[in-house]
C-alpha cells in the first residue's frame, strides 16, 4: 500500500500525517510525502532570494517529517516540487500511483468549516485515487 500525504510544514499537515500513520500503520504502507513551493511571481533578485529561503525552509520541514515517519517503522519517499501545488500534487500522484492521497483541510473560521480549501477541493475533483481530507 502506498499513501501520498501532502505536507506543507503546517501543524495541520503534520497532524494529518500523524493521523494517517496512526490509522494505517498496521498495514505497513509506504508513505510518500509531497511538499510544493510556489515559484516567485517576479524574476527580481529579492524575490529569488526570498524563494530560495522558502524552498530551503520547506525542504527542512519535509526532511523532519520524513524522519518522523521512519521513527514509526515505515518506509518513506519525500518529494519537494516547485510550481502550482494543485498541478504538482496531481502530477506526482499520477507518477507515483498511490492507493490514497491525504491532504489537510485549510482554514479554521466558520466559513472555512463549510468549504474545502482550493487545493483539497481540486484534488477531490481531479485525483485518480481516493482522497482523504483530514479535518483538524
Residue range 78-133, pLDDT digits in tens: 999 999 999 999 999 999 999 999 999 864 444 444 444 688 889 999 999 999 99
pLDDT score of 41: 64
pLDDT digits (tens, 9 = 90+) for 50-75: 888 888 999 999 999 999 999 999 99
Q: Print the SS3 string covering the chain.
A: CEEEEECCCCHHHHHHHHHHHHHHHHHCCEEEEEEEECCCCCCCHHHHHHHHHHHHHHHHHHHHHHHHHHHCCCCEEEEEEECCHHHHHHHHHHHHCCCEEEEECCCCCHHHHHCCCHHHHHHHHHCCCCEEEECC
pTM of the model: 0.88
Count the domains in the chain: 1
List the domain range (segments joined by +) for residue 84.
2-134
CATH (domain of 108): 3.40.50.620
Amino acid at each position: 500500500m502506498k499513501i501520498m500525504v501532502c505536507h506543507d510544514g503546517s501543524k495541520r499537515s503534520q497532524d494529518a500525517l500523524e493521523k494517517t500513520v496512526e490509522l494505517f500503520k498496521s498495514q505497513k504502507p509506504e508513505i510518500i510525502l509531497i511538499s510544493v513551493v510556489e515559484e516567485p511571481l517576479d524574476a527580481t533578485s529579492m524575490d529569488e532570494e526570498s524563494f530560495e529561503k522558502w524552498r530551503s525552509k520547506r525542504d527542512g520541514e519535509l526532511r523532519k517529517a520524513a524522519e518522523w515517519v521512519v521513527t514509526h517503522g515505515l518506509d518513506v519517499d519525500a518529494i519537494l516540487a516547485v510550481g502550482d501545488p494543485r498541478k504538482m500534487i496531481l502530477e506526482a500522484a499520477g507518477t507515483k500511483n498511490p492507493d490514497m492521497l491525504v491532504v489537510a483541510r485549510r482554514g479554521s473560521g466558520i466559513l472555512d468549516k463549510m468549504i474545502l480549501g482550493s487545493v483539497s477541493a481540486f484534488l477531490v475533483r481531479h485525483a485518480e485515487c481516493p482522497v482523504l481530507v483530514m479535518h483538524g
